[in-house]
Amino acid sequence: MQRSVILRPASPQDAPQAAVLFYSTGPAAFNLAFGYQDKAISIIRRLFAKPGNPMSFEHTTVAELKGQVIGILTVADRTIEARTRPRMGAELLRICGPLPLLARLPIHLRLQRLTRLARDGELCIEDIAVAPQVRGKGIGHLLMQEAELIAGQRGYRLLSLYVLKDNFQAIDFYRRLGYLCEEKRADAWLARRFGFRGFLRMVKPTEQVADKFQ
């Protein structure tokens, strides 16, 4: 199947399919931030189609099979994150309106603090997802390999990602690819009130990536 898959830069037209994949990376976090599944996917779709925010098509590679988007990979470094994160609030204000956004502002701020800015020389895999119907067929490996190629070509020293603490299947997948758990990040208020357990920050030095491709 991998030979039939095309990796290409995302476009705004990919938003309907990409939004569903984005949501699948962390339903618990997106439901906390936006309320419920359909609303969350609608907001993600609008964010994806707009430039200048962390979830924009600008930073995303899609895997396409027979005209369908079956996977996404979004990466960012410290410069991209520092430029786009402040603009996220303005986009959400425009999409959601002031009162709904204000009601969930403490949740948004606490979730954002759990995923700190990337360091200098670090490429963060912000989101990666594969459609359910093609999981187990190597698409995830293909997208992770693409992230490693980008990191190597651009001279980053470290690859990082955040994964939900209870997403054991994803954690095992990343460990098999050589990623190590560097830090556990949780918020006591979110855990107590919503049962949200937080994230693991996992990292992989790019020296390992370079060795693999030599």
Confidence of residue 213 (pLDDT cuts 50, 70, 90): very low
| pLDDT (tens digit per residue) in 114-130 | 988 899 999 999 999 99
Average pLDDT, the chain: 92
* Domain range 2-213, CATH architecture: 3-Layer(aba) Sandwich (3.40)
CA distance 159 to 156: 8
pLDDT in tens, 48-83: 999 999 899 999 999 999 999 999 999 999 999 888
Return the C-alpha torsion angle 56, 200, 213, 140, nearest 10. Answer: -60
Q: 3-state DSSP helix/strand/coil percent for the chain, to nearest 5?
A: 55, 20, 25
**Looking at this protein, which amino acid is placed at residue 59?**
H
Residue identified by tokens 């402040």 is 86
Q: How confident is the model at residue 1 (pLDDT cuts 50, 70, 90)?
A: low
Identify whether the C-beta of residue 10 lies closer than 8 Å to the C-beta of residue 70. Answer: no
In this prediction the pTM is 0.90
